[in-house]
């Protein structure tokens, strides 16, 4: 196959930004996912084991957590970044596959829309706890 | 070391890099990809689960009670294993991309696996009461 | 020690049945130092003179006899039969290099491989105002950095082994990046900017996932992936500097990195 025939996806065509932002978002996610997993899965663990708290995750607990500005920031950032990192990674895997690479723009826009819609939906869910 | 000797070693095959032959990098990449794709699927699942909050606090609590039963705790631990490996290898990739530790890339991979195992062993230990009580 | 083994070669089919298929040759083990190339030559001379393969120097210098032996890229002349056989098998599988068009049997068309090399301007471009003679001492950092990467014999094993060259036939590939690195780091060269622009473009270095297969198979022990990562670092620094300069014109550094 002639290297020059297939049109490249126009978004992030040089590949540098995809490479760079994937790493930046990855590093940020290490911190954010760490905090999220701690808060969601471990901070109430002692209480649950002792029996003073029924379950690790309860509606009230989530609601209380999201009343604090810091965690609102953490959860929204996490949602945005994890969707970006995940879908960007999925995009680069898909674009290695010939049939997808030939429709590179469509794949990229499709994933972008998926990301935006999912973020909007996720934000709506978070607002249920906040409001 | 004398300059001529260093040059000779650099130019000949005698200072053959420890990299030769190792398939560690390939395994690291494969696992990164597999955990990555799995985690992308999980994100959507997770958002879906949390979205049950829209149906009211009681529904949410019921759903989450099921998801905190022992079988799901175990699944959660598997998820955490994927997250930990993906993150650690991600750091390894970033280091290598910056030209750091390239000649030790195989050792870095083993370190990722060992650290993942140690972390998950610790986490599993503390999570045992949750698995056992069910 | 066994006195014979099976050499299993992936051969192109005939005109009637063009699908490639495995073909077995029973080869006597003539000596302890018999190589896969020796076995191929013996098979051609004694079994089937239509067997097609490439070789030239037979001593690992020219890079002509690259093939895939037991699933791994190797030079046929440097691969000993004794090291490939073990107690559970007395067969050795040989296939043509990957990602290249097969001409016949083990002979591939290196055109795609050379086109990628050409794309990165693989020759030294000293520019009009070069100071003659350039003095680069053997123990200089520049020389020591470049030296291992100049051992390349263009055998194509790295390109065949590269996991990214497989699904993506446009990827420039390890040998091209390695060659470009030797010139980009060379203080005499003035075409670094153009080369880096080519590699910054689509299917350049950003698609390298540091899988290290190229480095693992290189018969000269060249740390190919290291060259790519250093190129990434250089481009990264240049781009970040460019961002911070805002309106001022961005220029890719012509001098080698410190």
Q: Residue B29: which pLDDT band, with cuts at 50, 70 and 90?
A: very high
pLDDT, tens digit (0-9, with 9 covering 90-100), for B76-119: 899 999 999 999 999 999 999 988 889 899 999 999 999 999 99
Average pLDDT over chain C reads: 89
Output the pLDDT for position B79: 92
Counting as contact any 3 or more CB pairs under 8 A, the partners of A are B, C
Q: Which residues, 6+ apart, have CB-to-CB distance to B33 below 8 Å?
A: A93
pLDDT, tens digit (0-9, with 9 covering 90-100), for C199-250: 997 789 999 999 999 999 999 999 999 999 999 999 998 888 887 765 445 4
Q: Residue C169: which pLDDT band, with cuts at 50, 70 and 90?
A: low
Interface of C with B in 46-105 (CB under 8 A): none
Short-list B81, C163, B94, B84, CA closest to A93: C163
Query: Are β-strands C91-95 and C72-75 bridged in parallel, bridged antiparallel, or unpaired?
Result: unpaired
Burial of B20 (0-12, 13-18, 19+ CB in 10 A): middle
pLDDT at B34 over 90: yes
pLDDT, tens digit (0-9, with 9 covering 90-100), for A49-108: 666 666 667 777 777 777 677 888 888 999 999 999 999 999 988 888 778 878 888 999
- For B61, the closest of A59, A83, A121 (CB atoms) is A59
Q: A89 and B36: CB-CB below 8 Å?
A: yes
Output the pLDDT for position C255: 52
Place of tokens 């996932």: C209
Q: Residue C16: which pLDDT band, with cuts at 50, 70 and 90?
A: confident
Q: B103 and C223: CB-CB below 8 Å?
A: yes
pLDDT, tens digit (0-9, with 9 covering 90-100), for C97-138: 999 999 999 999 999 899 999 999 999 998 777 667 888 899
- For C202, the closest of A14, A96, A98 (CB atoms) is A14
Q: Residue C49: which pLDDT band, with cuts at 50, 70 and 90?
A: very high
Nearest CA in chain C to B12: C148
Q: C212 and B11: CB-CB below 8 Å?
A: no
Q: B17 and C210: CB-CB below 8 Å?
A: no
CA distance A22 to chain C (A): 11
Rounded to 5°, angle at Cα A109 from A105 and A110? 115
pLDDT at B11 over 50: no
Q: A48 and B130: CB-CB below 8 Å?
A: yes
Burial of B131 (0-12, 13-18, 19+ CB in 10 A): middle
What CA–CA distance (Å, rounded) separates C257 from C230?
9
pLDDT at B15 over 50: no
Q: Residue B17: which pLDDT band, with cuts at 50, 70 and 90?
A: very low
Q: Residue A1: which pLDDT band, with cuts at 50, 70 and 90?
A: very low
pLDDT at B18 over 50: no
B33 and chain A in contact, CB less than 8 A: yes
pLDDT at A123 over 90: yes
Residue A63: which region, alpha, beta or left (left: phi > 0; alpha: psi -120 to 50)? Answer: alpha
Region C35-48 average pLDDT:
96
Strand partners, C9: C23, C94
CA distance A87 to chain B (A): 7
C251 and chain A in contact, CB less than 8 A: no
Average pLDDT over chain B reads: 83
């Amino acid at each position: 196959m002639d290297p020059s025939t297939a049109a490249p996806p126009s978004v992030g065509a040089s590949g540098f930004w995809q490479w760079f932002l994937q790493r930046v978002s990855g590093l940020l996610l290490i911190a954010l996912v760490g905090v999220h997993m701690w808060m969601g899965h471990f901070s109430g663990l002692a209480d649950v084991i002792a029996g003073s708290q029924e379950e690790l995750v309860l509606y009230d607990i989530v609601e209380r957590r999201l009343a604090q500005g810091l965690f609102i920031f953490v959860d929204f950032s996490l949602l945005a970044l994890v969707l970006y990192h995940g879908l960007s990674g999925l995009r680069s895997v898909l674009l290695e596959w010939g049939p997808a690479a030939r429709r590179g723009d469509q794949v990229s826009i499709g994933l972008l829309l998926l990301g935006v819609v999912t973020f909007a939906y996720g934000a709506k869910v978070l607002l249920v706890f906040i409001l | 070391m004398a300059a001529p000797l260093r040059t000779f070693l650099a130019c000949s095959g005698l200072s053959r890099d420890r990299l030769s032959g190792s398939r560690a990098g390939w395994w690291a990449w494969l696992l990164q990809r597999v955990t990555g794709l799995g985690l992308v699927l999980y994100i959507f699942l997770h958002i879906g689960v949390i979205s049950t909050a829209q149906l009211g606090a009681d529904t949410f609590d019921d759903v989450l009670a099921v998801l905190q039963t022992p079988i799901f705790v175990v699944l959660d631990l598997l998820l955490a294993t994927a997250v930990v490996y993906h993150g650690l290898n991600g750091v390894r990739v970033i280091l290598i991309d910056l030209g750091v530790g390239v000649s030790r890339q195989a050792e870095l991979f083993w370190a990722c696996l060992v650290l993942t195992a140690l972390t998950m062993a610790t986490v599993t230990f503390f999570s045992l009461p949750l698995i056992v009580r069910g | 020690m066994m006195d014979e083994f099976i050499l299993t070669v992936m051969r192109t089919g005939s005109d009637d049945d063009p699908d490639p298929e495995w073909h077995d040759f029973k080869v006597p083990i003539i000596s302890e130092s018999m190589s896969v190339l020796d076995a191929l030559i013996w098979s051609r001379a004694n079994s089937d003179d239509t067997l097609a393969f490439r070789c030239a120097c037979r001593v690992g210098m020219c890079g002509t006899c690259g093939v895939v032996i037991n699933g791994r890229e190797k030079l046929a002349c440097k691969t000993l039969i004794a090291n490939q056989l073990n107690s559970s098998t007395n067969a050795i599988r040989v296939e043509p290099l990957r990602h290249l068009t097969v001409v016949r049997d083990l002979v591939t068309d290196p055109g795609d491989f050379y086109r990628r090399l050409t794309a990165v301007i693989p020759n030294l471009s000293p520019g009009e105002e070069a100071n003659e003679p350039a003095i680069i001492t053997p123990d200089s950092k520049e020389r020591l950095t470049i030296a291992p990467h100049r051992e390349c014999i263009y055998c194509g094993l790295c390109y065949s082994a590269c996991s990214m060259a497989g699904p993506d036939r446009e990827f420039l590939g390890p040998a091209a990046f390695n060659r470009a690195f030797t010139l980009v780091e060379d203080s005499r060269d003035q075409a670094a900017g153009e080369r880096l622009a080519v590699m910054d473009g689509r299917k350049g270095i950003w698609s390298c996932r540091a899988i290290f297969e190229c480095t693992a198979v290189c018969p000269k022990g060249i740390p190919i992936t290291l060259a790519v990562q250093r190129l990434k670092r250089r481009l990264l620094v240049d781009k970040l500097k460019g961002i911070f300069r805002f309106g001022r014109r961005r220029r890719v550094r012509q001098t080698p990195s410190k």
